[in-house]
Amino acid sequence: MHPTIDNHSRSAQLFAAARRYIPGGVNSPVRAFRGVGGEPFFVQRAAGAHIWDADGRELIDYVGTWGPAILGHAPAVVIDAVRAAAERGLSFGIPNPDEVEMARLICDWVPSIQKVRLVNSGTEATMSAVRLARGFTQRERVVKFEGCYHGHVDSLLVKAGSGALTHGQPDSAGVPAALAELTSTLPFNDAAAARALFAERGREIAAVILEPIPANAGLYFARPGFLEGLRELCTQHGALLIFDEVMTGFRVARGGAQELYGITPDLTCLGKVIGGGLPVGAFGGRAEIMDALSPDGPVYQAGTLSGNPLAMAAGLAQLRELERTDGWKKLEALGAKFEAGVREVLKKTRRDFVFHRVGSMFCLFFTGGEIFNLADAQRSDRAAFARFFHACLAGGVYFAPSQFEAGFLSTAHSEADLEKTAEIAARALGA
């Protein structure tokens, strides 16, 4: 049995009960620990950069709700905002002032977004953006990249990353073949393949969707000129370029990955950070495209809880605090210190690793050589990662339970947290 849980623990009891009522015992597949073995633990509470499981064990957390907890867990400024909003009402199903303010802030901070529609999840954002792209261009084909995960949208669950990849099933049952046929997949960073596809089927392509910084098959980066080339191809052939910045939006920079790379997409999908820990999503872009949405245009999209006051209050409080404190500068400093500690540990090991970081996002691949796409990432030694994961967990550090997920730092991580993490990681790696 793995050291994460025993049959007499509260987490074991909860997981046994969960399996009776919830498929696989979890409400999102990667939480099941199938990528690392053993059984998951259950969290009782979280504060700052730490979480406490149902048995009272304290862990330094590098998952951060899979990205939203950029200020750490339960920051006072967010909790106070949510409490005040809750006292005014949990949900209205009627326009509220905070959704207007959130829309204004997004448009101000992300220059490519002139208008934005708020939704309830990243999946809803990408699903709606693809529908909008098809409606606006009057075309059906969508191009995505192997290993880029855009939520559990039928037409995008083709050679996907994240949980689908963790479980060894990058496609999904239940997706009609006829629908999947309208999705073309390409290797990330293969500019020649993109040019060839557009030369053959450019008139059919409604949109190209990608993570500008793929973070659901580990974490890797675009080669110089790759994103610029996609922008040129889309412009030349009348297709829309969609950046899925659900993870990177407001995390890697104030204006997201598109600010770092200087690329202007036609549509952008957002989530995670803009909800402050509550369910949220958004998609936006050029006004002429967004005006094709109902009620002004023919592309239908709706949501009862879209722009709900609790998520808007939490997200606005978090974003304003990031700006007030220059949080991105602090995150970069923490990321650089974390990377220096990791690389110092890796120097003492006898095997090859690849460590990638951008700002407060990171991934340690258990393989050598360069990693630029899904095929490169899949060379990783998953069994070795699983041993490392459990050794760290036993020592009080929680990384994502999959080789193919990114880790996240928050402004709440302290130097003491980073130092302890380096010590535990060194022991786990035998350094």
| Cα angle: 416, vertex 417, 419; to 5 degrees | 65
**How far apart, in whole angstroms, are the C-alpha atoms of residue 320 and residue 305?**
23
H or E, element range at 56: none
**How far apart, in whole angstroms, are the C-alpha atoms of residue 336 and residue 332?**
6
How many C-beta atoms lie closer than 10 Å to residue 87's C-beta?
Answer: 8
**How far apart, in whole angstroms, are the C-alpha atoms of residue 121 and residue 73?**
19
**How far apart, in whole angstroms, are the C-alpha atoms of residue 12 and residue 2?**
12
Dmax over CA atoms of the chain, in Å, equals: 62
**How far apart, in whole angstroms, are the C-alpha atoms of residue 156 and residue 150?**
6
| Cα angle: 43, vertex 394, 163; to 5 degrees | 60
**How far apart, in whole angstroms, are the C-alpha atoms of residue 154 and residue 176?**
8
Q: 144 catalytic, yes or no?
A: no
HEC letters along 304-359? CCCCCHHHHHHHHHHHHHHHHCCHHHHHHHHHHHHHHHHHHHHCCCCCCCEEEEEC
Q: 272 catalytic, yes or no?
A: yes
Q: What is the Cα Rg of the chain in Å? A: 21
3-state DSSP assignment of residue 364: strand
3-state DSSP assignment of residue 396: coil
43-47/50-53 β-pairing = antiparallel
- Catalytic, out of 261, 272, 376, 417: 272
Q: 220 catalytic, yes or no?
A: no
CB-based contact 309:88 (threshold 8 Å): yes
- Catalytic, out of 62, 149, 261, 398: 149
52 has which bridge partners?
Answer: 45, 58
CA nearest to 247, candidates 24, 35, 69:
69
In degrees and rounded to multiples of 5, residue 240 shows phi and psi of -95, 145
- Catalytic, out of 244, 266, 376, 417: 244
- Six-digit token pair at 136? 């606006």
Residues designated as active site: 149, 244, 272
